[in-house]
Amino acid sequence: MMFYLRDWILSSKRRASEPCILPEQVNAIAQSPPSTARKEDLPFIRCQVCQKIAEELLGLVQKKQSQISPKKISELQIIEIAENVCNLKKEESDWILRIDTVEKGDTLELVDQGTEGQCYSECKTIERACQEVMGYSDTDVAEYIFKSGPSIDSLIKYLCGDLTKACSVKVPPVPKDRIPGEPFVAKSSKDAEMEKILRSMEGKVLRERESAKGDWKVKILEGVKQSGAAIRKHVDKVSHRTQTWWGRKKTGAKASKAGKAEL
Rounded to whole angstroms, the Cα distance separating 201 from 9 reads 10
Residue 202 has pLDDT above 80, yes or no: no
The H-or-E segment that residue 50 falls in is helix 42-68
CA end-to-end distance (rounded Å), the chain: 91
Angle between the 75-84 and 138-148 helix axes, to the nearest 10 degrees? 140
pLDDT of residue 50: 98
* Range of lowest pLDDT (19-28, 140-149, 222-231): 19-28
The answer to whether the beta carbons of residues 147 and 161 sit under 8 Å apart is no
- Cα–Cα–Cα angle for 247, 253, 255, nearest 5°? 105
Mean pLDDT of the chain: 81
Cα separation, 130 vs 143, whole angstroms: 19
Pick from 71-85, 226-240, 245-259 the range whose average pLDDT is largest.
71-85
Strand partners, 100: 111
* Residues paired with 112 in a beta bridge: 99
Is cis: bond before 70, omega within 30 of 0?
A: yes
pLDDT-derived band at 8 (thresholds 50, 70, 90) equals: very low
Question: In this predicted model, which residue has the larger pLDDT, 179 or 5?
Answer: 179
Largest CA distance in the chain: 118
The predicted model scores a pTM of 0.66
96-153 pLDDT, tens digit each? 999 999 999 999 999 999 999 999 999 999 999 999 999 999 999 999 999 999 999 9
Q: What mean pLDDT comes out for the span 55-62?
A: 97
C-alpha distances (whole Å) from 156 to each of 111, 136, 159 are 18, 17, 5
pLDDT at residue number 243: 73
- Among 139-148, 162-171, 226-235, whose mean pLDDT is lowest? 226-235
What span, in angstroms and rounded, lies between the C-alpha atoms of 138 and 159? 10
